[in-house]
Amino acid sequence: MMTITADDITDFSDPTTRKIVAFIRSIGIEVLARPVEGKTFVPGISIVGGTLHADESRMKWPGDLLHEAGHLAVAEPEKRNDILVDIGNNPGEEIAAIAWSYAASVYLEIDPAVVFHPEGYKGDSEWLIETFSKGETFGVPLLQYYGLCREKGESEYPAMQKWMR
């Protein structure tokens, strides 16, 4: 992981967004500050060829960057750069991205409500925060299978051994 801090980020103005972008870039996912036009799954964010395009003026929740980065991080490496706009509808990768984004929020010391905000997750944001904060870990078996974390012992979830599949 490269060392990039929020102070290194000059293309985003919000401090939380800068912190998140610094982390995402440090694990090897490119984030570009670009205008994002048209309808997107999350406002102001699009995935183009395995790169996150973020339009800070249209983004509603900086935590959406973490969730979308989670999709790229858990995607099969050979398919990551082929992802354009839509990450697909693989339910396993969705729950892995949710677990990944919770682990990232803990690592970054960001309130999980920044990621699991009231306008997302089909109304289940409070349930997700409660579930993960109690140590219930759906999605973690997939993160383990991908070699990203362990459930017991050293590097126990939500700590991650590595961030990219």
- Quick one: residue 121, left, alpha or beta (phi over 0 = left, psi -120 to 50 = alpha)? left
Residue 158 maps to a domain: no
pLDDT of res. 146: 95
* Residue-by-residue DSSP string for 68-97: HHHHHHHS-HHHHTT-BS-----HHHHHHH
Residue 44 maps to a domain: yes
Structure pTM? Answer: 0.92
How far is 66 from 97, CA to CA, in rounded Å? 9
Domain that holds residue 52: 6-145
Residue 35 maps to a domain: yes
pLDDT of res. 86: 61
pLDDT beyond 90 at 151: no
pLDDT tens digit sequence for 66-92: 999 999 999 999 988 888 766 767 889
Residue 153 maps to a domain: no
Total structural domains within the chain:
1
Question: Rounded to the nearest 5°, which phi and psi values hold at 147?
Answer: 80, 20
Residue 64 maps to a domain: yes
Residue 151 maps to a domain: no
pLDDT beyond 80 at 2: no
Residue 122 maps to a domain: yes
Are β-strands 31-33 and 51-54 bridged in parallel, bridged antiparallel, or unpaired? parallel
